[in-house]
Structure 1
């Protein structure tokens, strides 16, 4: 892929968090068929993390690409690392922790490339902020991976402004992408300065849990979405995603479902553009308070 691939001309990115839990896609050949179908529909961005399925999601994805090598040139892959799960902690504590040391990140990038069966990651992100991060060493590991062609660009997930700025000051390359929890169920980043900070620093926003784990469909907000979705002729999820895309900077949602029909429906609804009044009406219902 060229650097042009680092733009998102898709209605959403396909999240692979639940891939290892899917019986239907547990066979690599069947998963290869599923991947090719999604790519043919224009959905060619896939979001991973090494902790998904305790690394088995990346492994299964790579096995599918091995079945269909021609797909490699048609996909864009994002992955994340630095979270060490208790089962993978080799210390006597067996404790979940974060590791942004240069040695760990270099190993994690190489391991993800191997499991996924790709030559380059379009984006590699630090999954969680690490209070023990040595910014200079972490920056060097990320810069080296970019310059070696192993990753197209680096980014962060769930970081606060001073956490990513400390890292950015030590880097030669820019942090390009930021994954944050953002949805109608969690609009706080739009008001606490987080979203403005990442936009001001030139990071592309990507929203994980864009439907709030289904909570956007509950209670008063769910009723408002149902009513307005019927008026727009779309699904409630399609309207909730349109609310996200209306935000300046066009946050890219990460969709966790693996169901073909639902993905096709959401992709078709991806062009829905809502007006300002509708956006604020939904915000009021989401926050259960009037706009001040």
Structure 2
């Protein structure tokens, strides 16, 4: 299930923070408008909003307008547990992940998850048992594609060695404020293992708009007639494999602007100028 042709993925982390979207009809209108813009990928996790709340809100909108369920492409993640009264921990056990997939399907109101990701690497993961649960979900038609989030190469390779189906996606933190994966071998490993990269926090939570990198973004934005945020996304998309930025805004006008600007083609010189501004030094 390819995501590399879409310029953006819409992150649902803050869905519960918009009171108007607690109304299924209004949220259905918003989803349909995004689909009409050509943006059909929606990124979820079972912890977003707490105890599956944001998946539930999204699912209520799809139940309100069933025709949308056939048009959306859904990514969701599980493996971080924040149970009340318990210490926060990771859980890659077969029972938990199999249950998380079933719960996500029920909450989201879809017949199949387009991509299911293990949210964080679990040091206690029994790779064979975890792999069997994931393979079973694919064979049962509950999941179309498998992936991981925030894993290091040897962590995902240990899981892949036990799987019958390929891992196809990796969601990692990558942006101008966090370019380290480009230099520590992490990003190269994605290409080597044919994992499609999805970049979370692609705008660094807004922190990249200050200081030297903010000034460099502003200068390029003025030159190209786009927003600084659009330039930052274009910087990501310039990388091999065209990582898909997972954006957090739900504002329709901003989404439309970023969709159009993310495909700006930066020159090699401009790309490195932004990198230099971000790191505070030129390349060796």
| TM more than 0.5 | yes
- Alpha-carbon distance between aligned partners in 1 of 2:4 and 2:184, rounded to the nearest angstrom: 26
- Alpha-carbon distance between aligned partners in 1 of 2:220 and 2:25, rounded to the nearest angstrom: 40
Q: Are positions 1:290 and 2:247 aligned together?
A: no
- Residue deviations 1:38-91, cap 9 Å, x none? 00000100000000001100000000000100001111000000110042xxxx
2:54 to 53, 57, 60: 57
Q: Which residue of 1 aligns with 2:104?
A: 112
- Residue deviations 1:184-232, cap 9 Å, x none? 0100000011111121111001100000000110111111111111001
Q: Which residue of 1 aligns with 2:18?
A: 22
Contact 2:82 2:89 in 1 (8 A): yes
Equivalent residues in 2 for 1:66-145 (5 A)?
66-87=63-84, 94-145=86-137
Contact 1:6 1:122 in 2 (8 A): no
- Residue deviations 1:246-282, cap 9 Å, x none? 0011100001000011001111213310110000000
SS in 1 for 2:155: helix
- Alpha-carbon distance between aligned partners in 1 of 2:224 and 2:49, rounded to the nearest angstrom: 37
SS in 2 for 1:225: helix
Post-superposition shift, 1:6? 3.0
In the comparison of the two structures, how many residue pairs are matched? 283
- Alpha-carbon distance between aligned partners in 1 of 2:112 and 2:271, rounded to the nearest angstrom: 38
- Alpha-carbon distance between aligned partners in 1 of 2:259 and 2:93, rounded to the nearest angstrom: 39
Q: Which residue of 2 aligns with 1:183?
A: 175
Q: Which residue of 2 aligns with 1:42?
A: 38
Contact 2:55 2:108 in 1 (8 A): yes
Q: Are positions 1:146 and 2:146 aligned together?
A: no
Q: Which residue of 2 aligns with 1:90?
A: none
- Alpha-carbon distance between aligned partners in 2 of 1:137 and 1:108, rounded to the nearest angstrom: 15
- Alpha-carbon distance between aligned partners in 1 of 2:100 and 2:2, rounded to the nearest angstrom: 21
Contact 1:83 1:98 in 2 (8 A): yes
Q: Which residue of 1 aligns with 2:186?
A: 194
Q: Are positions 1:273 and 2:265 aligned together?
A: yes
What is the Cα-based RMSD across aligned positions, in Å?
0.9
Q: Are positions 1:160 and 2:156 aligned together?
A: no
SS in 2 for 1:151: coil
Name stretches of at least 5 consecutive residues in structure 1 with no aligned partner.
88-92
- Residue deviations 1:136-194, cap 9 Å, x none? 00000111101111000110000011111110000011100000000001000000111
Question: What TM-score does the superposition give when structure 1 sets the normalisation length?
Answer: 0.95
2:8 to 7, 12, 17: 12
